[in-house]
Chain A
Amino acid sequence: MNGQVIDWRPYLPKSAGKEELYEQFKQKAEALTVKVIRVSTKEEAEKAIVEVMKEFNVKKAAAAPLTLVNSQVIKEEAKKEGIDLGLEQDKDWIEQSDFGISEFDIGIAELGTVVQDAQSIHERLVSMLPPTHLAIIETKTIVDTFADSLQIIQKAYNGNPPHYIAYVTGPSKTADIERVLTIGVHGPSKVIYVCIG
C-alpha cells in the first residue's frame, strides 16, 4: 500500500494555470452542466461554498480533509445557515448527506475534468455517495490535456502511481434507456467546481 500523499504542484507544466486554460476548462465543464465558481482567496472560497450549500438547500453535508480552505470555518458559517457539515469521516453520515466537498489535485482544460489522488476511501466517498459534489481546485493547477495529466502523475510518483486515481468529468450519467441522456445514476447528479486563484 503506497499511501503517501504527494504534492502534484511541483510537476505541473509551465503553461499550467494560464487564463485561456481556465476559460476552456470552464466552458467544457459548463457544457456538462457543472457549475463553475472562481474565487481569488481562501476566504472567498469558504464563503462561496457556504453560499452554494444555501442555494442548494443543503441540510446535511460531508467534507473530506481539506487543505486549500479551512473546513472548520466553513462548518461554523454553515451552521449559522442551518447546515450540518460533518468533518468526521463517517460512512453513514456521508451516505446520508446531500452534499460532499473534496479537493482535487489538478484540472484538465480540454475536457473540464478534475483529477485526484483518491487512495483515501473518504476522498472517494464524499465525491461518490451524495447527490451533489463540490470539487475544489487551484486555478493554477489547470493543465491543457489528458496526456499532461499522465505526465504529471508519472513524474510526481516517479513511475510508481498511487493505487487509486480518480478523474471526474461532470455528473454521473446514463443513456442506457433509449439513449436518452439522464444525469445522476450511481454518482452525483450535480457537480460544482470551485477554482481558487
Chain B
Amino acid sequence: MPIDYSFKARIEAALNNQGIRNALGKFGKDFPISRAKVYEGIDFEALRKEVAKVKSNGAAKFEQLADQFEKNLTNRGAKVHRAETGADVYQILRDIAKARNAKKVVKSKSMASEEIHLNKHVEDQLEMIETDLGEWIIQQINEKPSHMVMPAIHLSKEKCADVFSDALGYRVEVDIPLMVKLARKNLRQEFLTADIGISGCNIAVAETGTMCIFTNEGNARLTASLPPVHVILLGYEKLVEKFEDVGPIAKALAKSATAQPITSYVTMISGPTQTLDANGNVVDKELHVILLDNGRRKLLTDPVFKEAGQCIRCGSCINVCPVYQLLSGHVYGHIYPGGIGVILTTFFDGFEAVEKIQDLCISCGRCRDFCPGKIDIPNLILEVRRRVRQQIPLPGMQNLIVGSLLPKKGLFQFGLRQASWATSMFASEGKDGKKYVRNLPFGFGRLADWRSLPAFPAKPFRERIKSIKQNPVNKKGKIAFFGGCVIDYAYPEIGESLVRLANKLGVEVEYPEQSCCGAPAFYMGRQDVTATIAKQNLDNFAKDEYQYIVTACPTCTEVLKENWIHVLQNDPAAKAKAEKVSAKAIDAIKLIHNLTKGDQAAEKEVAALSEVACPNKVKVTYHDSCHLNRSLGIKAEPREVIKDIKNVEFVEMVDSDVCCGFGGSYSIKLREISKVMLEGKLKNIEETGADIVCADCPGCIMQLRGGLDNKKSNIRALHTLELLDGKF
C-alpha cells in the first residue's frame, strides 16, 4: 500500500510539537466555553438559519449580484476589476501601482491574497508590508498562516520575541504587551508613508456597493484611510443582496470566530473617500475593488458544494475540530486548514491538492454543530472524498477490499470468519475477561501496539441467535435486528444482551439474513459500493411484520436511516424500500428509552430491567458516540436510562462528546492521530474515577476497550446494552 511519507511525516512532526499541542489543546478547551458565553440569550439555531438564508441567497445569485455591485461602485467613483485567477490579480495590482509610481504597500489581513500568494508574486515591484500583527510575524519568517483568524497561533511568545529581535535588530524581551507596542510604533511609520493600502473584506452588499471589514487591531482602518490608494480584494462568495443582510452575519461573525460580541471595528466602505497628501491637503482617494474567482464560480454553481458559499470564514469549525487541535494548520499544506479548508482548497487548488488531507476528517460532525452558516461540512468532505476517488482510486489493497471484497457478501463473511482463527493465535485474556490481540507479526505490530484489538469469537452472532430461546414477556411485537459487522463478528455478546433486554420488554427479535451496512465504503468515498450492499439487505428488512429495525451501532443506524436512500436516489424501486427501512430504523438505546420512559413503558418491566442490572454499587460515566449524538440527536436518552439503574452513580466526564478517535478505517489509516485522540479520551475517563465507561457504539467500545487494555486499566468499557443486561 503506497504511503505518502511527506504527508505522514508532517503529521508526525505536528504530533511531536508539544508547544503547538499545548497551545491548541488549551484553545480547544477554552473556545467552546467562551463561545457559549458570548452566545448566551441568543437563539443560535435561529441566527444561523438567517445567516444561511442570506448567504445561500448570495451564492445562488452571485453573478447577478456581482454585476449590480460593480455598477453601484462604479457609479460612486470606484474602479471594479474582475480577476479569474491569482495571476490576474498580480497584473491588476502591478498596473495600479505603475500608474502612480507606487512602491510601498501596507496590507490588512486578506485570506484571498494569501490563497493566491500575492506577496511573493509582486514583491519584485512592490514592498509588501503585512500590518495585522499575526500576519506581520509570519511574514518575517516566511511562513503561511496556520489559522484563518489567528494566523500565528502556532508560534510561542518566545518564538515571536525572536522574530521581533531579528526584524528590529536588537534583543526584544519575551513580553507580549511590549511586542504589541513595538509593532504599533514601527508599523505606524509604514502606514503614514505607504502608497497603497490593500485589504480584504468580510461582506459585500450588492444593492449599495458596501464592503464591510471586521477587525480588532484597527489596521484595516488605517489601511483604508491613510494611503492615497485603497485596493480591496474579495471573492465572489462575499456577496449578499441587501444592506440588511449584513445584520445576521455581523451578529454571528465575531462570536463564532473569537467569542467576542463584535470586533472592535466594523468599517463599511461604499465608495472612494478622501485622504491627506504629504502637505496636509485633502485629496481624493482611489478605490479599486478586485473580484476574485479562482475556483469560486465553480464552487458556487456546483449543486452540492454551493452550500460552502454559506461560509462566513469565522474559523469556528477549525477551532472545535479534534484533528486540527492536534495538528495545527500547516499539516493541511494549503492556506485554508481544517474541514472547511479541505472543501475550499478542492476548488481553489484542485482535487490533487486534497487527495491526502481529505482523509484527515474523522467525520465526527462536531464542526457541523458550531457552523454559523449551517454548512454540513463532514458531508461535503464525504462528497470531496467521493469525487477524489473517482479521479484518484484508493490505494491498491484498500480498493481491493472496499471495491471487490465488501460487496461480495459470501466472500466478505467468509473473510470475517477467518478473523476468528487468525486472531485466536495471538489472543489472550484481559483484565475484563475479554480476549485481546496485543501483538501482531509481519510488520502489522503497529496496528495493535497502542490499542489492543478484540479477538474474534469462533461463533458470530448470526450463529448464536439460532440457539437463543426467546421468551418475550407479554409479547408486544417483533423487531428486526441489524447487527452490523462489529457486533456480528467481534462482539456478538452485545447482540445477545439486546435480545434478552428486548424479551424482557415484550419484544421478539429476528435476525434476517444480512451483510455489512456499507458504511466503510461510504466513508472511503465509494458510495457506489454502498448502493450495491444496500440492495443486498433491503428485501430482508423492508417487511411489514417488523415494528422496528433496530441496530446497536449508531453508524449503521445512520446508514439505514439516511445513506441508503441517498445512494439509491437514481433507483426508484430500491429507494422506495430504503425509505421503508429508514422510517423504521432506530438505535437500540432509543428504543429502550421509548419502552422504559415513553408512553409505552410498563412499570413492572422497567423495574425488572433496572434491578437485575446492577447488584453492587458502581460508578459509571458515559462517552457520546459521534454518530449517536450528532447524527441521530440522541444524547439525553442513554443517560436517563443509565441513571435509572439501581446502585449506579452516574458521573459526567469532560468533553464527553469529543470523538474517541476510532472512525472505522481512520484508526488504521491515520493511527497516529487516532492514538492521540484516544489518549485524551482515556484521560477524561480516568479523571472521573468511574469503574465503567459506557457507550452505545461498538466502534467506540473497540477503541476504548483496546486503549484501556493497553494501559492495563481497571476501568471497563461496556456497551450500554451490556450494562443494562448486567453483563460485567
Contacts and interface: CB of A to CB of B under 8 A. Distances in A.
Given A147-B244, A174-B180, A179-B153, A163 B271 contact: yes
A161 B210 contact: yes
A150 to B, nearest CB: 6
A94 to B, nearest CB: 10
B280 interface: yes
Interface centre among A154, A160, A165, A186 (most CB of B within 10 A): A186
B219 A185 contact: yes
Contacts of B264: 168-173, 187
Interface stretch (A5-13, A14-22, A120-128): A120-128
B156 A167 contact: no
Contacts of A188: 218
A164 B268 contact: yes
Contacts of A166: 221, 265-268
Given A1-B77, A185-B218, A174 B271 contact: no
A57 B194 CA distance: 32
Given A164-B269, A182-B176, A146 B217 contact: no
A177 B243 CA distance: 34
A176 B133 contact: yes
A31 to B, nearest CB: 9
Contacts of B153: 176, 179
Contacts of A160: 208
A1 B222 contact: no
A60 interface: no
A162 B270 contact: yes
A121 B157 contact: no
A172 B261 contact: no
A22 B192 CA distance: 37
Contacts of B137: 176-177
A15 to B, nearest CB: 17
Interface in B658-703: none
Interface in A76-105: 90-92, 95
B399 interface: no
B27 A95 contact: no
A167 B218 CA distance: 11
Given A121-B274, A168-B264, A178-B157, A186 B219 contact: yes
A11 to B, nearest CB: 14
Nearest to B150: A176
Contacts of A1: 76-77, 271-274, 284
B447 to A, nearest CB: 37
Nearest to A165: B268
B316 to A, nearest CB: 15
A161 B208 contact: yes
Interface residues of A, number: 51
A159 B207 contact: yes
B33 interface: no
A151 interface: yes
Main secondary structure of the interface of A (DSSP, over half): loop
Given A90-B280, A121-B225, A125-B225, A184 B184 contact: yes
A1 B275 CA distance: 13
A94 B250 CA distance: 31
B390 to A, nearest CB: 41
A182 B177 contact: yes
Contacts of A170: 264
Nearest to B180: A182
A175 B181 contact: no
A2 interface: yes
A128 B221 CA distance: 8
B263 A161 contact: no
A169 B247 contact: no
Contacts of A71: none
B627 to A, nearest CB: 32
A111 interface: yes
A112 B261 CA distance: 10
Contacts of A153: 243
B134 A176 contact: yes
Interface string B191-204: 11000000000000
B131 interface: yes
B93 interface: no
A113 interface: yes
A154 B251 CA distance: 18
Interface string B257-291: 01001111111111111111000101010000000
B276 A121 contact: yes
Given A184-B180, A185-B217, A185-B218, A176 B132 contact: yes
B434 interface: no
A172 B265 CA distance: 8
B721 interface: no
B718 interface: no
Contacts of A186: 131, 184, 187-188, 191, 217-219, 221-222
Interface centre among A92, A125, A172 (most CB of B within 10 A): A172
B325 to A, nearest CB: 13
Contacts of A146: 247, 250-251, 262
B299 interface: no
A172 B247 contact: no
Contacts of A172: 216-218, 264-265
Contact of B273 (A164, A175, A184, A187): A164
B271 A2 contact: yes
A133 B157 CA distance: 29
B516 interface: no
Interface in A53-82: none
A167 B269 CA distance: 11
A178 B244 CA distance: 35
Contacts of A111: 261-262
A26 interface: no
A28 interface: yes
Interface centre among A128, A162, A163, A188 (most CB of B within 10 A): A163
Contacts of B155: 177
B160 interface: yes
B176 A180 contact: yes
Nearest to B136: A176
B176 A178 contact: yes
Nearest to B219: A186
Interface string A40-51: 000000000000
B711 to A, nearest CB: 32
Given A2-B76, A95-B192, A172-B217, 15 more contacts: A1-B273, A119-B274, A128-B221, A150-B243, A162-B270, A166-B221, A166-B267, A169-B261, A172-B218, A172-B264, A175-B216, A175-B258, A176-B137, A185-B180, A185-B183
25 contacts: A1-B272, A1-B273, A1-B284, A91-B276, A119-B274, A121-B274, A121-B275, A147-B244, A150-B243, A150-B246, A150-B247, A153-B243, A163-B272, A164-B267, A167-B262, A168-B265, A172-B217, A173-B216, A174-B216, A177-B133, A177-B137, A178-B160, A179-B150, A182-B177, A186-B221
5 residue pairs, one from A and one from B, having the closest CB atoms: A187-B218, A176-B134, A167-B266, A163-B271, A185-B217
